[in-house]
A and B are shown apart, each in its own frame.
Chain A
Amino acid sequence: MQSNTAAVPLNVRTADGETMQRAPNVWDRLLKNSRSLTAIAILFFMLLLALAAGTLAPYDFAEQLRGREHLTPSSGHFFGTDVLGRDILSRVMYGARVSLMIGLSATVLSLVIGVTLGLCAGYFGGRIDDVIMRFTDTISAFPTLLLAVAITALYKPSPSDGADVLVLNASFWKVFIALGVVGWTSIARVVRAQVLTIKTLDYVTAARALGGDSIRIMFLHVLPNCWSPIIVLATLSIGGNILGEAGLSFLGLGIKDPFPSWGGMLSDSKSYFKDHWWLAVFPGMAIVLTVLSFNLLGDGLRDALDPKARK
């Protein structure tokens, strides 16, 4: 780990024409890490697939090709076709949209809840801290996926569901809310721990002495200094949410057919994958590759943001 992220000073030419060395910043350190670089490249590729699925995908995600059911991977269908004759490659590409959108949006929701609660708990302390932390303990006491299952199961499907667009349809919102409202606890704990240290620093005392109100101090003075661990945790939790979406879809609570999501495609393949391996392997590998990339990027960011911890 140390060798491939070594902090190499960079040459900078000054106005006088002198060459000086500047200390490497976070980006320099991140891009020097080969694993992070690979992860960024894979994620960029996945993002491209998701955004350009409409143009790049050989078929529409719902197009059923009569007489071409269960075709093995070939030059006509690189990833084969499913039980209804739909092209798996196209569905994996469109599925990237759903999985990435859910991963990112649920993480943003968790961040909003976790950062706000962690900030309040750490900054105000006392009773507020006790109440928030006991609530956090309670939510963490449930296995995340199961609580998400229970929240998702609350939702009653209506006949108009699924007649919507690919993302942002009813089943998307249900998964987004379920994952977002259960995944904030570790973020709140980390933010609280950071705030407990930062709020005792002189500049925060000075801001308070100058008459700054609590909300302003919390968000303008304390929060900017907590970002490093939050960014790392958020990156890791995008991967976690993609796994969560896959799990919910696998249990039949996620994105509904005909809309493709990687977990949903695995769920659809449950009865057939023993004879038709490609139905499960390609969407499954897409999940693994994407989650692995987010995990590697999270680790790389941790090293880049906190070189002391790396050593």
Chain B
Amino acid sequence: MGTYILRRILQTIPVLIGVALIAFLLTDLSGDPVRQMLGPKANPVMVARVKEHLGLDKPFLTRFSKHIINMSQGELGFSLANDGKPVRDMIRDGFKVTIKVTMGAIFIAMTLGLLLGILSARFPGTIIDYASSAFAALGISFPAFFMGMLLLLVFAVTLEWVPIGGYQPGSIKHLILPCVTLGLLSTASISRLTRNCLLESLSMDYIRSARAKGQGVWRVMLGHAFPNALVPVVTVMGNDFAALLAGAVLTETVMQIPGIGSVIYEAIGQRDLPVVTGCCVVFALILVTVNIFVDVLYAFLDPRIRHAE
């Protein structure tokens, strides 16, 4: 298992260098950051001096290696707006809120998705199965922000069960709608996959053997078929994490939540590219880490994977 984890970590090194290169190129292509910071009427001597001070007059490779060293130390550059605030600090502040929304969404997606999937597989071809199927098809077709708007209209404006957007530290009420919005979108894919994998597992010989021994339907389903069906579901959950983070950006914009989505939204408005690329890098790092975690979990759940090769 240790070798497997080590090999998986080593495989991500080229990806991380690639991520750093793309982020560097994007920032580099966005134009002269010093001119953007000092304005179009800045004194050329002053511009040259600031560039020299920041090391922006150096050749490409020198700047890129410095960029890699900075990134490995957690330095993601400075915002072109917000008085040159470090991008790292802006992302850290935003993430404190976004992580709550994302975790809540994952909890809802896992609970509801697995429940719907199990019920669909237990009663295939019934109204429960068709309803869950329709829900899943709709779920993957909804833009996150439109789902957020509809939920706001129904639960905040009409029924007044939850506040209309906004955020208060420590208030769970304000987080319910963003979590439900994002969670519902992932619920769709998880429920379909759970259903299909469970139905496939239920057609296996070992299930027939378990039933022949006299075990109940639910016991066979949850004790034997479910653990095997869980392997692909965990993988999809890892992939869904990317969609959840991107969805969080849009949902936070609708719900006026001061998370990473709002940081990106403001940065776009101010054409503050270091912040946008900084967020991209952090998201990529999170996704790479989640993928490693999912692979390890996959190997833990299915011994055939860790014993391969």
Q: Are A274 and B153 in contact (CB under 8 A)?
A: yes
Q: Are B284 and A142 in contact (CB under 8 A)?
A: yes
Interface string of B246-260 (1 = CB under 8 A from A): 100110011000000
Interface size class of B (residues with CB under 8 A): 35 or more
Q: Are A142 and B138 in contact (CB under 8 A)?
A: no
Interface string of A240-266 (1 = CB under 8 A from B): 000100110011110000000001001
Tell yes or no: B60 within 8 A of A by CB.
Answer: no
Interface string of A279-311 (1 = CB under 8 A from B): 011001001100110011000000000000000
Tell yes or no: A153 within 8 A of B by CB.
Answer: yes
The answer for the CA separation of A142 and B138 in the assembled complex, in Å, is 25
Closest Cβ of chain A to B280, distance in Å, is 5
Residue of B nearest to A269 (CB): B149
Closest Cβ of chain A to B136, distance in Å, is 10
Closest Cβ of chain A to B59, distance in Å, is 22
Interface string of B20-60 (1 = CB under 8 A from A): 01100010011100000000000000000000000000000
Q: Are B19 and A154 in contact (CB under 8 A)?
A: no
Q: Are A251 and B242 in contact (CB under 8 A)?
A: no
Closest Cβ of chain B to A303, distance in Å, is 13
Tell yes or no: B123 within 8 A of A by CB.
Answer: no
- Stretch in B64-72, B169-177, B267-275 touching the partner: B267-275
Residue of B nearest to A270 (CB): B254
The answer for the CA separation of A297 and B141 in the assembled complex, in Å, is 13
Inter-chain contacts of A146 with B (CB < 8 A): 245-246, 249, 264, 276, 279-280, 283
Interface string of B144-170 (1 = CB under 8 A from A): 111001101100010000001000000
Closest Cβ of chain B to A262, distance in Å, is 9
Inter-chain contacts of B145 with A (CB < 8 A): 246-247, 250, 266
Point out the residue from B146, B150, B246 that lies within 8 Å of A144, measured CB to CB.
B246
Q: Are B268 and A153 in contact (CB under 8 A)?
A: yes
Tell yes or no: B265 within 8 A of A by CB.
Answer: yes
Residue of A nearest to B277 (CB): A150
The answer for the CA separation of A247 and B164 in the assembled complex, in Å, is 21
Closest Cβ of chain B to A81, distance in Å, is 19
Q: Are A295 and B141 in contact (CB under 8 A)?
A: yes
Point out the residue from A139, A145, A239 that lies within 8 Å of B249, measured CB to CB.
A145
The answer for the CA separation of A141 and B276 in the assembled complex, in Å, is 15
Residue of A nearest to B243 (CB): A143
**Contact A284:B146 (CB < 8 A) given known A137-B15, A143-B245, A153-B273:** yes
Tell yes or no: A13 within 8 A of B by CB.
Answer: no
Q: Are A149 and B264 in contact (CB under 8 A)?
A: yes
The answer for the CA separation of A246 and B277 in the assembled complex, in Å, is 21
Tell yes or no: A273 within 8 A of B by CB.
Answer: yes
**Contact A141:B287 (CB < 8 A) given known A153-B273, A156-B31, A287-B146:** yes
**Contact A243:B143 (CB < 8 A) given known A135-B18, A143-B287, A251-B268:** yes
The answer for the CA separation of A195 and B269 in the assembled complex, in Å, is 44
Tell yes or no: A158 within 8 A of B by CB.
Answer: no
Inter-chain contacts of B30 with A (CB < 8 A): 153-154
Tell yes or no: A22 within 8 A of B by CB.
Answer: no
Tell yes or no: A108 within 8 A of B by CB.
Answer: no
Tell yes or no: A113 within 8 A of B by CB.
Answer: no
The answer for the CA separation of A84 and B291 in the assembled complex, in Å, is 47
Q: Are A274 and B137 in contact (CB under 8 A)?
A: no
Tell yes or no: B234 within 8 A of A by CB.
Answer: no
Q: Are B14 and A134 in contact (CB under 8 A)?
A: yes
16 extra A-B contacts, CB within 8 A, seeds A146-B246, A288-B146: A134-B15, A134-B18, A138-B19, A141-B18, A143-B245, A143-B283, A144-B246, A146-B249, A147-B280, A150-B280, A153-B268, A154-B29, A250-B250, A251-B249, A251-B264, A251-B265
Q: What 8 A-B pairs are tightest by C-beta distance, nearest first?
A: A138-B18, A292-B141, A284-B146, A291-B141, A143-B246, A145-B246, A141-B284, A134-B14
Q: List 10 A-B contacts (CB under 8 A).
A: A137-B15, A138-B15, A142-B22, A146-B276, A149-B264, A149-B268, A154-B30, A250-B143, A250-B145, A287-B146
